[in-house]
Amino acid sequence: MLIKVSSKNQPTTHDFRISYNNFQLPYDKNYEIALVQYSMPYSWHNVNAIYNNNQITITIIGGDTTTYTFPNGNYSVEELNDYLVGVRGDNSVNIQANYTTGRVEVVMDNNIRLETSDNPATNPNPVINSILGFSYNLFIQNTTGARATFSAQNNADINRGIDAVSIHCDLVDAKNSLLNDKYSTSVFSFVPKTAPQSVLAENISNPIYVGISTHGQIHSVNYSIRDNLGNLLDLQGESATLTFNLREHQEIIHN
């Protein structure tokens, strides 16, 4: 049996429940399910006000201080720099990736201070330095008398720790799937191979089947899009389509 679902017009497009009137499985048979096709937008954000990582404050030493707020979105290091240069109207501060070291660098004119976080006493949450790799509550100040380059202390985490996408379905018997050491309803995981704002789609040629725990009349099923740590991935209201194959459990015969 093919189960096709779409999150279009659902209140939450990355975590939604579909109701069924004609979905019934006999109690005397065991079933397993696999994802065989998916299509969804690469639309979740790595920079967003809800993560408190969307601001940088720049001070001209002896002059004005300005806080710049990045619009919510999914940015590369280069795109963060392009936005900052655009709103400032100059390149007195540049953010760049060093692909040799894996570190982000900030190149600044003389007499400029850049702050990538707030006072932890009043705002203890990670801010934009958490994805750029700078130490918490850090400010960078250039008083060298010339343009200078400052390297982050840690490797960049521009994806905000999101390395893979996992499709979940609560028909799955969670004891058949583990995420680290926790039971999970994940039925399929993949690593995005295209850039943000693209469409992620695949027809899965070798689907992996996992057992389900539900029998009888099935009134509703919850489907969700999550990251590699099991956290919901907010698709920002854009819809996903998923196709599952449900079949009787196939016994594996060993010679």
- Judge whether 85 and 103 are in contact, CB under 8 Å: no
DSSP letter string over 82-103? Answer: HHHHHHHTS-SEEEEEETTTTE
**What are the tens digits of pLDDT across the range 39-69?**
999 999 999 988 888 888 899 999 999 999 9
So where are the chain's domains?
Answer: 2-44+162-248, 49-151
Write down the residue that tokens 């521009």 correspond to.
158
Q: Which among 50, 46, 48, 54 is positioned nearest to 116, based on CA atoms?
A: 54
- Read off the pTM: 0.85
For residue 27, which amino acid is it?
A: Y
CB within 8 Å of 121: residues ≥ 6 apart: none
CA distance 106 to 150: 5
Tens digit of each residue's pLDDT (9 = 90 or more) over 169-195: 999 988 877 677 788 899 999 999 998
Mapped onto helix, strand or coil, the DSSP state of residue 54 is coil
Are 1 and 247 in contact by the 8 Å Cβ rule? The answer is: yes
CATH (residue range 2-44+162-248):
2.60.120
